[in-house]
A and B are shown apart, each in its own frame.
Chain A
């Protein structure tokens, strides 16, 4: 495209359909302890 460059096509909707396994880390356990950022956590579902 000339006016728009798409840098990712992340599809959160697809992730919802097969998500929710609960294997990922509780976000507060990693480093923060006083705030909440979830989007920087890893998905731990194997394929």
Chain B
């Protein structure tokens, strides 16, 4: 399978199964519509006849031979033989956890997937005993995995920061006993960030995700305080103080775009202009009936906006400056292995979320949906059948993914989005897929620009 596209003045073809990427001329672009394996020794007369209206016959033959050579090198039209590896994704240890230390929030963001913080289950904070049980669960279920991940999440986790600190202290003791290491991260809206909290986070957390949507008027339209006023002024000040204190540790400023700001490249640029270099801005996930929801009709504008964003980023980099946009990150040579690419985020199998009362769910977006409750860390219950269902949700069990060129990049998409908006974890949610594919084209194009000088 191949995927070819035109972007930023370049013709690009991706060989889906090898991951090979090639920049091609117009003749090759047109020829790829007319040839496929098995390749004859010589260019078929019918192909020459068809293309000779536009190109010299000699060039057509030359081009055919180049395509054939790349096919023989298995970096064009290479075979898909990964399905056998998909079976190995069953029964993975659980090594990542999203710990909901607070089902309460000090903001009332209109688009919140967590029902403004409580996930529909009432406002609640996790107690330290449940936090410790969650760590015990992770230690036990991670089996031989040594590097573990735990994200403090909410609601707003800073509303329960004393418990965060106690959980970290407990986990640091436990990891020694089990010869493991937990990478802590935290996702926060920044309202309660104080210098002592920043110091603790910088000491203990390998990454922080800082929520802000971009321009003040965009952020404040959705990200409101309880009294209805905007959050921008407080959080931008806190984040601008916090990020330099991180030193070389990771962070992301992370925003959500909605139907109200389909010109979201301006929000990415606003965050860059405010001094942030690690940026993620993502489409809102919401039922189509919501006024701010992204709908099919928005897609052309969104595609164009990603192209504009890619051009802006390319220009910034050409000036020798650094900017990283999360969804344009792509390492064409050293990225994740094919096995990782088959099974995506690993939710429900390698990754779980734990609610303040100890209930276990496949991920943070499933929290509160009773049929996906996998157990509870306090009573030791755990439903392995649900885990197995998620382990088997990979690109070869999702009908739309099997035939999709992007399957080894998004790896089957977000199971929660699939369930919430397409009815089943195996059904692809079309809007997410279309946006994902556009982002990937832009990411590949940016890589092509970067690597063009070293291309063979």
Contact = CB atoms under 8 A, between A and B. Distances in A.
Nearest to B13: A4
Interface stretch (B300-308, B372-380, B446-454): B446-454
A19 B455 contact: no
B28 A4 contact: yes
B412 A15 contact: no
B270 to A, nearest CB: 18
B182 to A, nearest CB: 12
Contacts of B331: 39-40, 42
Interface string A1-41: 11111111111110110111111111111111111111111
B186 to A, nearest CB: 11
Contacts of B226: none
Given A4-B23, A12-B17, A41-B335, A31 B409 contact: no
Given A12-B408, A36-B413, A38-B409, A7 B452 contact: yes
Nearest to A10: B19
B106 interface: no
Contact of B456 (A1, A3, A15, A36): A1
A26 B456 contact: no
Contacts of B456: 1, 5-6
A19 to B, nearest CB: 3
Interface centre among B28, B59, B63, B341 (most CB of A within 10 A): B341
Main secondary structure of the interface of A (DSSP, over half): loop
B93 interface: yes
A6 B345 contact: no
B448 A16 contact: no
B238 interface: no
Contacts of B447: 7-8
B344 interface: yes
Contact of B346 (A2, A5, A26, A42): A26
B118 interface: no
Contact of B451 (A3, A7, A28, A42): A7
Interface residues of B, number: 93
20 contacts: A4-B22, A6-B21, A7-B447, A8-B333, A10-B335, A11-B19, A22-B93, A22-B95, A22-B145, A22-B350, A29-B96, A31-B254, A32-B254, A34-B414, A36-B413, A38-B341, A38-B410, A39-B336, A42-B336, A43-B336
A37 B436 contact: yes
B252 interface: yes
Interface of A: 1-13, 15-16, 18-45
Interface of B: 17-25, 27-28, 59, 62-63, 66-67, 69-70, 74-75, 78, 81-82, 85, 88, 92-93, 95-96, 98, 113, 145-147, 149, 151, 183, 185, 187, 207, 209, 252, 254, 256, 280, 282-283, 285, 326-327, 329-341, 344-347, 350-351, 363-365, 408-415, 417, 432, 436, 439-440, 443, 447-448, 451-452, 454-456
A12 B90 CA distance: 21
Contacts of A34: 113, 256, 282, 285, 365, 414, 417
Contacts of A11: 18-19, 74-75
B451 A16 contact: no
Contacts of B337: 12, 15-16, 18-21, 43, 45
Given A7-B447, A8-B333, A19-B340, A31 B19 contact: no
A20 B337 CA distance: 7
